[in-house]
Amino acid sequence: MRRGRRDEGSATVWMVTVVAVVWITTMAVVDVGVARVAALRAQSAADLSALAAAARAATAQGEACARARTVATANGARANRCSISQGIATVSVSVRFALPFFGTRTAVAVAKAGPVGPRL
């Protein structure tokens, strides 16, 4: 009868551990990437919405926030808040996104836009 050595089968345990660590690291990187893309999408939608509202505020202030909501929706975002004060549009938007193990999250961004002053 042959006696087993104490380290027999330890390579399997080490490989399972290494694969688990690599998988967890990969999923963390993917989650960070998804969140970063959502934040950038939200900021882009906020910037474009604020520019659209500021452009519309110069001619039809009553329609400026409606235009901001339309632009935000076209960019996959939801306009949360819009205000026009002294020709400056402030728009807040949100973008919902899903993370594989953490459920649905929301990225929020705020942007301001207004008239350009005279150049000297």
Q: What is the pLDDT of residue 5?
A: 66
Q: Which residues of the chain carry a pLDDT beneath 50?
A: none
Structure tokens, 74: 């076209």
Q: What is the pLDDT of residue 115?
A: 79
Q: What is the pLDDT of residue 94?
A: 98
- Is residue 56 included in any domain, yes or no? yes
Structure tokens, 79: 């306009």
The predicted-structure confidence for 13-36, as pLDDT tens digits, reads as follows 899 999 999 999 999 999 999 999
Q: What is the pLDDT of residue 60?
A: 83
Q: What is the pLDDT of residue 86?
A: 87
Q: What is the pLDDT of residue 36?
A: 96
- Is residue 4 included in any domain, yes or no? no
The whole domain housing 35 covers: 12-113
CA angle 67, 69, 73 (to 5 degrees): 120
- Is residue 106 included in any domain, yes or no? yes
Q: What is the pLDDT of residue 76?
A: 95
Q: What are the angstrom distances between the C-alpha of 71 and each of 4, 23, 39, 56?
A: 70, 39, 17, 12
Q: What is the pLDDT of residue 40?
A: 98
- In terms of Cα–Cα distance, which of 63, 40, 45 is closest to 53? 63
Q: How many CB atoms lie within 10 A of CB 11?
A: 9
- Is residue 119 included in any domain, yes or no? no
Tell me how far apart the 2 most distant CA atoms of the chain are, in Å.
96
Structure tokens, 11: 């390579």
Domain count for the chain = 1
Q: What is the pLDDT of residue 33?
A: 94
Q: What is the pLDDT of residue 1?
A: 55
- Is residue 102 included in any domain, yes or no? yes
- Is residue 118 included in any domain, yes or no? no
- Is residue 1 included in any domain, yes or no? no
- Is residue 33 included in any domain, yes or no? yes
Q: What is the pLDDT of residue 3?
A: 62
Exposed e or buried b per residue across 14-41, where buried means at least 16 C-beta atoms within 10 angstroms of its C-beta: eeeeeeeeeeeeeeeeeeeebeeebeeb
